[in-house]
Amino acid sequence: MRETHYISTALLDLAILKDIVENDKELELSEEAVAKINKAHAYLQKKIKESDTPIYGINTGFGSLCDVEISEENLSQLQENLVMSHACGTGEFVPKNIVKLMLLLKIQSLSYGHSGVQLITVQRLVDFYNNDVLPVIYNQGSLGASGDLAPLAHLALPLLGMGEVYDGDAMVASEIVLKKHNWEPITLMAKEGLALLNGTQFMSAYGVHCLLKSYKLSYLADVIGALSVDAFDCNMSPFNALVHLVRPHRGQVKTAENIIEILTDSEIGASVNKKVQDPYSFRCIPQVHGASKDTLHFVHKTVKTEINSVTDNPNIFVGEDLIISGGNFHGQPLALAFDYLGIAMAELGNISERRTYQLVSGLRDLPAFLVKNPGLNSGFMIPQYTAASIVSQNKQLCTPASVDSIVSSNGQEDHVSMGANGATKLLRIVDNIETILAIELMNASQAIEFRRPKKTSPLLESLLESYRSTVPFVKEDRLLANDIHASVAFLQSFAIDGDLLF
């Protein structure tokens, strides 16, 4: 039987989301959430009946059409038209796990009681989530400003029996799946289309996914970096706590602690006759990895605030008897954070590739390209090429999205965040880091074998034993693309306790 997570005003954080996703928990609206949704909806309906004053998006057009008043009998059609007309996504399909996060985060935002939607609308989103009815969404079309309009329109279409959803791995018409579950299409009421489309849940879902993966890769970078430290027979003195306590950046101190802990009881690390100094890619692991950790901490704080916020428009304040049109849908905080995190994660790849380069260079009593009989065998020459290519691509992807803007909606939306583009390219950067680290793991594990009979630490020997069951030692040239793919899969399956991540 699946466990349940109750949607309420209690703050979401990454640990909670990780638990919901990994344990496949069902969602259920708490009594508090139901009461808030119903209260805001009843207030809005009463306000529409009693007031002749135009209220943006409720009885007016949208964007630059905000001065066009809409008659009461057309309010439902207005919202349905909004969803259909804004479903203009293109590009690649959004991964299903991110679509599921979008559903969760949209449900959370609507449940605060500042959006005026019907309870049945939110409940249907909960039903979609619990039954893996995941809308087909495209990753292009949002400017990250008036909310993630196009992606969220595709998220909303199946509520109306339109668009497509995933049925397992197949994409089918949503009306077929609605009939399968005996669900009637939702008839949207005033403001509901706008509440569904305004919001930053596309950007936020990418942000949550990338943060969870980045925390894991940050820890793996320490583990694999430590393996490379022993593989290159490095001096351990740069990781001494005294060095870092006189420059106590949080991430730097933590990284040095990690390296020392990971390499505890290493025979290689304890051996003498070390070089006086090592290349920066080894010696400065605490400083470089640590700076990326500090960036993760900053971005985590930004995303946590965002996922616990109301980001549609206008906002309904029942207690104050106010409906206010503002700009909480603007993605600037996320756009800046994504650009920052992309740069920080790219640096983990940059320094990783440099360690790989050193390992294949024929230095420190290691054979050239980490293979016996180099010349006859090319060994690990080309995996470093591959890593270098990916590192270079990441540098190109790190061009900030947030410094760009473009005028839309006939000049009404004259500054946009481009946070959606920042989000999608951040995912590409993070996925690239996984491959770069997998290539370093291949090289470091190969190099360690040339240090035998000396052993690395018990922790890393255990890691190597598990890894070697997937990727054996390379005695002579073979198809290394298979080893790269297997190494990536190994990292993806590698489970890490949440206490080590956040």
Domain ranges within the chain, ordered by starting residue: 4-199, 206-311+324-408+415-500
- Selected from 1.10.275.10, 3.40.718.10, 3.30.930.10, 3.40.50.720, the CATH number assigned to the domain covering 4-199 reads 1.10.275.10
How far, in whole angstroms, is CA 31 from its chain's centroid?
30
Q: Which of 376, 356, 377 is nearest to 445 (CA)?
A: 356
Q: Which of 390, 361, 352, 387 is nearest to 227 (CA)?
A: 352
How far, in whole angstroms, is CA 354 from its chain's centroid?
26
pTM for this structure? 0.96
Annotated catalytic, 56?
A: yes
User: Would you list the DSSP string of 228-242?
Assistant: HHHHTT--SGGG-HH
Torsions phi, psi of 25, nearest 5? Answer: -75, 150
Q: What is the 3-state secondary structure (H, E, C) of 10-63?
A: CCCCHHHHHHHHHCCCEEEECHHHHHHHHHHHHHHHHHHHHCCCCCCCCCECCH
Structure-block tokens of residue 193: 């289309």
Identify the residue whose tokens are 């699946």: 2
Torsions phi, psi of 4, nearest 5? Answer: -120, 135
Torsions phi, psi of 26, nearest 5? Answer: -80, 155
pLDDT value at residue 352: 98
Pairing of strands 4-7, 26-29: parallel
Lowest pLDDT segment from 73-82, 330-339, 370-379, 443-452: 73-82
pLDDT value at residue 49: 85
Q: Determine the 3-state secondary structure of 95 from DSSP.
A: coil
Structure-block tokens of residue 414: 């004259």
pLDDT value at residue 464: 98
Structure-block tokens of residue 63: 């964007």
Same fold, 4-199 and 206-311+324-408+415-500: no
Whether 106 contacts 155, CB under 8 Å: yes
Q: Tell me: the pLDDT tens digits for 32-82? A: 999 999 999 999 999 888 877 777 767 776 666 667 776 777 778 888 999
Q: What gap in Å lies between CA 330 and CA 147, rounded to an integer?
A: 6
353 — pLDDT class (breaks 50, 70, 90): very high
Q: What gap in Å lies between CA 55 and CA 43, rounded to an integer?
A: 14
Q: Tell me: the pLDDT tens digits for 402-443? A: 999 999 888 788 899 999 999 999 999 999 999 999 999 999
Q: What gap in Å lies between CA 402 and CA 349, rounded to an integer?
A: 22
Q: Determine the 3-state secondary structure of 7 from DSSP.
A: strand
Cα three-residue angle 39-41-42, rounded to 5 degrees:
65
447 — pLDDT class (breaks 50, 70, 90): very high
Q: Which has more pLDDT, 68 or 488? A: 488
Catalytic residue among 43, 56, 112, 219: 56
Torsions phi, psi of 90, nearest 5? Answer: -150, 180
Amino acid sitting at position 63: G
Torsions phi, psi of 322, nearest 5? Answer: -135, 145
* CATH 1.10.3720.10, domain 206-311+324-408+415-500, yes or no: no
